[in-house]
Structure 1
Amino acid sequence: MLKQLIIKNFTLIDTLDIRFNPGFSVITGETGAGKSIILGAIGLLLGQRADTKAIKAGASKCVIEAHFDLSRYDMEEFFSQNDIEYDPDDCIVRRELAASGKSRAFINDTPAPLALLKELGERLIDVHSQHQNLLLGKQDFQLEVVDIIADDAAELALYREAFSEYTDSVKALGELNEKIERDRANADFIRFQYDELDSARLAEGEQQELEQKASTMSHSEEIKSALYEADNMLAAEGAGAVGNLRSAGGAMEAVASMLPQAAELAERLNSAYIELKDVSQEISRLLESIDFDPVELDAINDRLDTIYSLEKKYHCESVEGLLARRNELREQIDNIDNSDEALAELQAKVDAARQHCLDCGARLTALRTDAARRIEGEMQQRLVPLGMPSVRFSVAVDAEQPSRNGCDRVAFLFSANRSTPMQPVSQVASGGEIARVMLSLKAMISGAVKLPTIIFDEIDTGVSGKIAEKMALIMQQMGRSDRQVISITHLPQIAAVGQTHYKVYKEETDSGTTSRMILLDGDARVREIAQMLSGSDVSEAAINNAKELLRK
């Protein structure tokens, strides 16, 4: 419930701090007094786009702040999920707009993105403006009304999951069909590419091994020279390092009994001798194995040329890439050869997914059909007292192809007279009739949705007299169930029913025109309603009439 609204430097408002009460409240004021400005400020709190032109001339920024009582609406989960401090008795929503164009939003003094502000706003306030009457012609709105009354959110979620699986399988089938068609058109070329790669008999690691062999054979003379020199230094008769190291170890062993340290040195020299001898033997084997064979080198280079040519042709950087490409081509060929089986298998999945979607849709349709009958009965009861004794209201639920919202097309049909056939409500209802239908729908929906605050912006357009009074009583009734209803109105019959009455007016000050909003009580309220009855010249009769309206 909206407890307090604070507006600073917004359009014609310099400072406004107004408190709101539970139940049914009304806001009155002449056209152009600033009622739409207040709605615009509330719209910013609900996440609407901001315009720097809305900042009062001469001010650096505007601030709109609202305080809400959420103690009866079980909204703690929203705050915990978004890591925002939860105070059910005083939830503060604030929007700041700087002249530089920068906009900031806060929920309980925690910075919040506009998307989050909008999500919270949709749970706090429903603003019904005059243009929303056009929603009666929108199928989505009509379907949403039926879904709210059907309380089918869980079933709708299951249906949407099934519909998503169905559309995904249809998409996969289409993609497979397109791929098979492309592959079939290129079948000969695909087989040629596969045969070319397969006949090359490629092996993983082959390129690196061949490149190493080619490098070794191309530098065989330098390699053999280095190996020969190393072999000679290590194993030359009488002068090789291996023999000298062995002799050094023997010398140390000879004096080990006389010099204790010599035994350890002899052991270390013998270990070094064993390792160096092993190295010398390995070098000797390499020396014998290195040989230059021009025929083999030519064969290696030819093989590498083949590999390099294939890599360039298939845009691969390695033999492994060529092998992967060959495997892809093999898979394409298998798909072409087995395309009928693959299509049949996927088609079966599509059929199963469609049937599951239709089954879920049928359960959703049953809930909607039952809700449609309840809506018809309740709307009949609500509209007859609103000056339409012969009204007929029907909710048609017709089958259509599965879509994200189900397998149903919903239409609200209406006739104000028994002799006139029912047609879509937006096509045959007058402005006043549409206003009464929308109010009745809102009243019905409000019983199913636990929304703290509903604001009606001149929903009484096109009605007057007793009908306006009955509409006021409906809004008053809506405000009795832990709900706050605020109506912006030009009709005294509605203004008189409000439990709380506010007036918006313009005032000329030294700094220019300013919009203000005050709470009316006692004589001030009587005079405001009398003025709504008679115009600027308030007569005694108008005063008495206003008192009578308030008494009733």
Structure 2
Amino acid sequence: MITALTIKNYALIEKLSIDFSKGFSILTGETGAGKSIILGAIGLVLGKRADLSSLKNKEEKCIIEAQFDISKYNLKPFFETNDLDFEEETIIRREILPSGKSRAFINDSPVNLQELQELSDFLIDIHSQQQTQELSDEKVQFQIIDAIAQNYETIADYQVLLKTYKSDKAKLNTLLKKQSDSVKEHEYNSYLLKELTEAKLKIGEQEELEEEFEKLNNVEVIKESIDKSLALANEEQFGVFHNLNEIKTALQKIAAFSQEYDSFFTRISSIAIEFDDFSKEIESVSEKLINDPTRLEMINQKLQIIYNLQKKHQVNSVAELLSIQSDLELSVSELENIEDEIAKYTELLDSKKLQLDELASTIHGNREKAIPDLSRDLVAILSTLGMPNSQFKITLLPSDTFFENGKDELQFLFSANKGSDFGLLKKVASGGEMSRIMLAVKAILAKFSKLPTLIFDEIDTGVSGEIAIRMGEIMKEMSQTMQIFAITHLPQIAAKGDAHFKVSKTIVGEDTQSELRLLSADERVVEIAQMLSGSIVSDSALNHAKALLN
């Protein structure tokens, strides 16, 4: 529960510090006095977004700090999950800087708004008039029924499974679309792959074939040149080899005369040896040269295959063709394996669908059991609130669709009077009736909720007299198990509180300020008397106020 609230430089509040107790607390004040400011400040602590308009003095930062006693609410796991220090007296602080930036802290540890909002869901429920209208929303109606049916854990399991089911279904749909879209592409890719595979390409093969082609295609010219070279080399009287030997013999005669001549002899000897090797090598090549038209044609055909493939795929090398072949193999393989993937996901989805159906069936069964209890309790409470003929017709309509909370659709119909037709709440219930229905709902949920604090913001709209007294009694009963705040204009409700706070607005010089303070017993009598009779308090109003308080 909230035990203290401190506000600095927020809206019309310059500085405020107030303590709260358990039980039933009342907040009253004239219209415009600042009750909504207090709620706005609490809303900021709970993680609502802020802006510079919140600052009273635009040159200074705004600080809102709330202290909560969370010792009985099993929130330690939340703090451990979010790496926060757990304190039984937890302090939440929001700061809004003149720059427009805001900061949030839990027990002095910086947090983001999402973490703050997650924690606030365990701390306070602020019931506004807008929430009363939301009672007509099917989602809210389901939340009411599921709270009574104690479905939350089952729904949480269902939602986790539904998330993976939807993800797997999306993957399956992607595979099916890919399979459908790729049939023609698959056939074409398979054709291209077959062409490349049958070509039996190898790295470096093109260069080797082109070289061999040039040799075979020019074999006669090559042989003629080599034979001529051999003839010039080996001609008996004027051949190169004969002349080299003559030079070698001449130099050998003078080699002993100087180191320089010996060097000449050594070099010509090496040349003679090298030339001998060269002569033997080209002679060997000459012997191997043959005119092979069959081999030439075969090479030409293979090269034409390579050239055609390169032109088709717009590349310049066998290496690039092999890379394309590898990609096509992968693509064709993937498409061939897609049926296995589709079968796998289909089987997986069938299994998850069965599990979802089982969970949805459990959720439905729990709702069916809870609905009669909810209808009975609502009718009983509304009877005491001046609606003795109210009736509810709550029907679950099974669906084949997996919704976020099960497979049910809901008809939540209401009739306020005997003989009246049932209709949707928002169409057949007046504002005062909606307020009483919402209070009845909150009173029932209080038995199932572990929420520490509930704030009613003018839930008494459209009621008065004995009905207001009974509404106050119901809130008083609720405060036995949780902390209740009621912002009200009705003295009958205000008199039921354990503590009474008044919001007032004063003018100091040129400045308007709001303040909140706890009323003493005597001040409380006067405040309720003023709520009964206006600013001029009569003796009868004072006596009436005392009677209400007693």
Fold-level similarity (TM above 0.5): yes
Q: Percent identity?
A: 39
Counterparts of residues 340-355 of structure 1 (less than 5 Å): 350-355=349-354
CA distance in 2, matches of 1:392, 1:59: 56
Matched letter for residue 331 of structure 1: S
Using the TM superposition, give the Cα deviation of residue 437 of structure 1 relative to its aligned residue in structure 2, in angstroms. Answer: 0.8
Per-residue Cα deviation, 1:469-496 (whole angstroms, up to 9, x for no partner): 1111111111111x11000000000111
User: Secondary structure of the equivalent of 2:182?
Assistant: helix
Write the distance in 1 (CA, Å) between the matches of 2:493 and 2:533. Answer: 15
Alignment of 1:147-162 (within 5 A): 147-162=146-161
1:546–1:412 Cα change, 3 Å: same
> How far apart are the structure 1 equivalents of 2:332 and 2:107?
62
Contact 2:26 / 2:500 at 8 angstroms: preserved in 1?
Answer: yes
SS in 2 for 1:395: strand
Residues 378 and 440 of structure 2 are in contact (CA less than 8 Å); yes or no, is this contact kept in structure 1?
Answer: yes
- Residue aligning to 2:378: 379
* 1:383-462 correspondence to structure 2 within 5 Å: 383-400=382-399, 401-462=401-462
Unaligned runs of 5+ in 1: 218-283
Query: 1:113-512 residue pairs with structure 2 within 5 A?
Result: 113-186=112-185, 188-202=187-201, 206-207=202-203, 312=314, 321-331=323-333, 334=336, 350-400=349-399, 401-481=401-481, 483-510=482-509, 512=511
Within 2, Cα distance between the matches of 1:313 and 1:147? 66
1:160-214, Cα deviation, whole Å (9 max, x unpaired): 3443454345434433332232223445423332322322324xxx43x559979
The DSSP-based 3-state class of the residue aligned with 1:74 is: coil
Distance in 1 of aligned mates of 2:392 and 2:30: 35
Distance change (3 Å), C-alpha of 1:410 and 1:333? closer
Q: Is the 8 A contact 1:314 1:322 kept in 2?
A: no
Please state how far the C-alpha of 1:330 moved relative to its aligned partner: 3.0
Contact 1:46-1:121 at 8 Å conserved across structures: yes
- Aligned-partner Cα distance in 1 for 2:209–2:318: 21
Q: Which is higher, the Rg of structure 1 or of structure 2?
A: 2
Q: How many residues align?
A: 476
Cα deviation for residue 413 of structure 1 reads: 1.7
How far did residue 137 of structure 1 move? 1.5
Check whether the contact 2:52–2:98 (CA below 8 A) recurs between aligned residues.
yes
Indicate how the Cα distance of structure 1 residues 317 and 82 shifts in structure 2: closer, same or farther if over 3 A, else same. farther
- Alignment of 1:110 with 2:109, yes or no, is yes
CA spacing shift, 1:357–1:164, aligned 2, 3 Å = same
Tell me the amino acid that sits aligned with residue 76 of structure 1: K
* 1:66 match: secondary structure: strand
Provide the TM-score with structure 1 as the length reference: 0.78
3-state DSSP of counterpart to 1:523: helix
Cα deviation, residue 301, structure 1? 8.4
Matches of 1:527 and 1:94, distance apart in 2: 35
Q: Which sits farther off after the overlay, 496-505 or 149-158?
A: 149-158
Question: Aligned residue for 1:73?
Answer: 73
Q: State the partner residue of 2:534.
A: 535
> Which deviates more, 16-25 or 143-152?
143-152
Question: Which residue pairs with 1:53 in the alignment?
Answer: 53
Query: 1:216 and 1:201, CA in 2 relative to 1: closer, same or farther beyond 3 A?
Result: closer
- Any idea what SS the aligned residue of 2:522 has? helix
Give 1:365's aligned amino acid.
H
3-state DSSP class of the match of 1:417? coil
Q: Distance in 2 between matches of 1:466 and 1:33?
A: 27
Q: How much does 1:29 deviate?
A: 0.1
CA shift, 1:304, in A, is: 7.6
- Normalised to the residue count of structure 2, the TM-score between the two structures is 0.78
CA distance in 1, matches of 2:527, 2:334: 82
Superposition CA RMSD, Å: 3.5
When structure 1 is superposed on structure 2, of 314-323 and 358-367 the one drifting more is: 314-323
Instruction: Give the Å deviation of 1:12.
Output: 0.4
Deviation digits for residues 407-451 of structure 1, max 9, x if unmatched? 011232211112112222222111011001111111111211111
Measure how far apart 1:541 and its partner are: 1.0
Q: Find the counterpart in structure 2 of residue 5 from structure 1.
A: 5
CA contact (8 A) 2:12 2:512 kept: yes
Q: Secondary structure of 2:358's partner?
A: helix
Question: Bigger shift: 13-22 or 189-198?
Answer: 189-198
**3-state SS of 1:137 partner:** coil
User: Tell me, which stretches of 5 or more residues in structure 2 are unaligned?
Assistant: 213-276, 290-295
Post-superposition shift, 1:51?
0.9
2:82 corresponds to 1:82 = yes
